């Protein structure tokens, strides 16, 4: 009888362990940036809350620095189910949803207040874009503030639109490419992870990127000037495969949604401080050029045609979003 009792206990333990293992769901997230970057820290914060709040039923695995997929590959990888979750630049959806490039229309969102309103959960602009992205088989969980766009250059400083003429410029979106073309430059589409080598080898003369990337990717080591144009707002989104999302329990979805919205708000609220810390860090490593009002006015005037091109390419959704943006 004792042997039977021990056997029964062993079976119960094995079943319990098997059930626990089966109950645990692992969600992998692809990130193109290093964990030390503020987007990586944002994901770590999310991971900690989800794993704790789900009592172990959800496990989050983060793969930083494009270990699994480059930025441009993330939307398809998540939509196909090759990976459960991913972080991608919003502009990576521009091929199927051109309207996502609204944030790269030059000077459309020219103040932190406008950015806050446009990106707020439930705003007309954000809801329209989130709904459109859902149609690709991926669900937007939360938006990650990346910061303001600036221009890096080597040898020759860029202050006015005329300084861009004839230069090969790294861009990360179609609309940014239109901006470069409009002022006489030649745009080259390139993932963020390829910037350092491209600048080092002279593949391009200049590059559009975010303030924080100059520090996290050490771009100050291979470029001479950093011009604070603040012409565009860079947004990343955290997405999940829709079938994976529907396969979660109501409680698990609630845990993920709550954690996502919390870390989104915290990051958005401290974005100004993060950018200032980056500027302070690179101040003695690269020449930082702040534009005068007259110079910024030149940029605004020279890039006005980009708005019309955007509306033509983005169709009715693009026109709708431009109208919403102009009312902010």
List, for residues 252-291, the tens digit of each pLDDT value. 999 999 999 999 999 999 999 999 999 999 999 999 999 9
Is the residue at 170 inside a domain? yes
Is the residue at 198 inside a domain? yes
What is the value of pTM for the model shown?
0.85
Is the residue at 7 inside a domain? no
Q: Per residue in 282-320, pLDDT tens? A: 999 999 999 999 999 999 999 999 999 999 999 999 999
Is the residue at 239 inside a domain? yes
Structural domain including 296 reads 25-326
The residue among 56, 116, 107 whose CA lies nearest residue 264 is 116
Is the residue at 183 inside a domain? yes
What is the pLDDT, as a whole number, of residue 12?
A: 40
Is the residue at 2 inside a domain? no
Is the residue at 246 inside a domain? yes
Q: What is the CA radius of gyration of the chain?
A: 22
CA 218 to chain centre: 19
Contact indicator for 153, 205 with CB cutoff of 8 Å = yes
Q: Exposed e or buried b for every residue in 259-281, given b needs 16+ CB within 10 A?
A: bbeebbeebbeebeebbeebbee
Is the residue at 16 inside a domain? no
The CATH number covering residue 223 comes to: 3.40.190.170
What is the pLDDT, as a whole number, of residue 23?
A: 60
Across the chain, mean pLDDT equals 92
What is the pLDDT, as a whole number, of residue 159?
A: 97
End-to-end CA distance of the chain: 78
Q: Per residue in 81-130, pLDDT tens? A: 999 999 999 999 999 999 999 999 999 998 889 999 999 988 999 999 99
Residues, the chain: 328
Q: How far apart are CA 135 and CA 100, in angstroms?
A: 13
Q: Is the pLDDT of residue 20 over 80?
A: no
CA distances, 133 to each of 29, 80, 246 (Å): 18, 14, 16
Q: Which residues pair with 139 in a beta bridge?
A: 240
What is the pLDDT, as a whole number, of residue 24?
A: 85
What is the pLDDT, as a whole number, of residue 191?
A: 86
The pLDDT-based confidence of 62 (bands split at 50, 70, 90) is very high
**Residue 184, by phi and psi: left (phi above 0), alpha (psi -120 to 50) or beta?**
left
Average pLDDT of the residues in 199-224: 96
Q: Which residue has the higher pLDDT, 16 or 182?
A: 182
Domain tally for the chain?
1
Q: How far apart are CA 255 and CA 238, in angstroms?
A: 15
């Amino acid at each position: 009888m004792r042997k039977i009792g021990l056997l029964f206990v062993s079976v119960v333990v094995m079943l319990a362990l098997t059930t626990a293992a089966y109950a645990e769901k692992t969600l992998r997230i692809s990130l193109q940036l290093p964990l030390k970057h503020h987007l990586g820290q944002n994901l770590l914060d999310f991971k900690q809350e989800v794993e704790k709040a789900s009592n172990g039923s959800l496990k989050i695995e983060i793969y930083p620095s494009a270990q699994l997929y480059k930025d441009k590959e993330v939307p398809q990888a998540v939509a196909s189910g090759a990976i459960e979750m991913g972080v991608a630049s919003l502009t990576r959806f521009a091929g199927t949803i051109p309207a996502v490039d609204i944030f790269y229309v030059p000077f459309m969102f020219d103040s932190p207040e406008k950015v806050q309103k446009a990106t707020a959960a439930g705003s007309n602009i954000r809801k329209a874009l989130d709904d459109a992205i859902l149609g690709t088989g991926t669900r937007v969980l939360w938006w990650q503030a990346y910061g303001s766009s600036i221009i890096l250059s080597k040898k020759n400083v860029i202050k006015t639109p005329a300084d861009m003429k004839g230069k090969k410029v790294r861009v990360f979106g179609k609309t940014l490419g239109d901006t470069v073309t409009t002022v006489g430059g030649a745009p080259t589409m390139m993932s963020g992870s390829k910037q350092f080598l491209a600048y080092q080898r002279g593949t391009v003369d200049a590059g559009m990127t975010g303030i924080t990337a100059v520090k996290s990717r050490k771009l100050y080591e291979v470029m001479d000037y950093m011009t604070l144009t603040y012409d565009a707002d860079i947004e990343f989104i955290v997405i999940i495969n829709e079938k994976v999302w529907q396969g979660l329990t109501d409680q698990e979805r609630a845990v993920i949604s709550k954690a996502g919205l919390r870390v989104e708000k915290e990051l958005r609220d401290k974005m100004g401080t993060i950018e200032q810390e980056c500027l302070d860090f690179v101040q003695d490593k690269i020449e930082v050029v702040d534009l005068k009002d007259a110079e910024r006015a030149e940029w605004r005037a020279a890039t006005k045609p980009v708005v019309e091109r955007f509306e033509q390419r983005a169709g009715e959704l693009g026109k709708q979003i431009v109208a919403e943006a102009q009312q902010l």
